[in-house]
Amino acid sequence: MAGDDEGLSGLWIDGQKHAGRVLAGCPHEEKGIPLFRDVSRWLDIYFSGREPGFAIPLHLIGSDFQKDVWEILLTIPYGKTMTYGDIAKAIAAKRGIPRMSAQAVGGAVGHNNILIIVPCHRVIGAGGNLTGFGGGIERKIMLLGLENAMSPSFYVPKKGTAL
């Protein structure tokens, strides 16, 4: 976990792609802060299979585009999913442009520093394609299963098998 007076700025799991890059090269101090107790409580509730029901203050660190994407991720309800394309359409509408690339959205989703709480695991590809999760596709499947958000139509493209 990483955070400051503004809120949580990082939550990573072992082996996560891009883990800890917020701290890379930045002076930091390791200490417990009240925010971390709240994050731990939130995670305990979440991993018991329930929606935590309270928000964690966040300090989103990234480009304006990344922050726009992450703000949309925060609107995806527990137990629901949204496609990269849906997010791209929402960003295009917000910016008043005709189109936005789903691949660009995928890049921003993939650089989310606050795993699980900013629910990037709830983003799927078109047609139920389960791609892109910094913590590994198996963990994405586990998190979606925990939220009862898995569908028989979801699949992992590399393996080419239905889940």
Structural domain boundaries in the chain: 2-162
pTM of structure: 0.88
Greater model confidence, 14 or 131 = 131
Band (131; pLDDT cuts 50, 70, 90): confident
**Residue 28 pLDDT greater than 60, yes or no:** no
**Catalytic positions, written as ranges:** 120
Condensed to tens digits (0 to 9), the pLDDT of residues 68-111 reads 999 999 999 999 999 999 999 999 999 999 999 999 999 999 99
- Looking at the structure, give the CATH architecture of the domain made up of residues 2-162: Orthogonal Bundle (1.10)
* Nearest-angstrom CA–CA distance, 136 and 133: 5
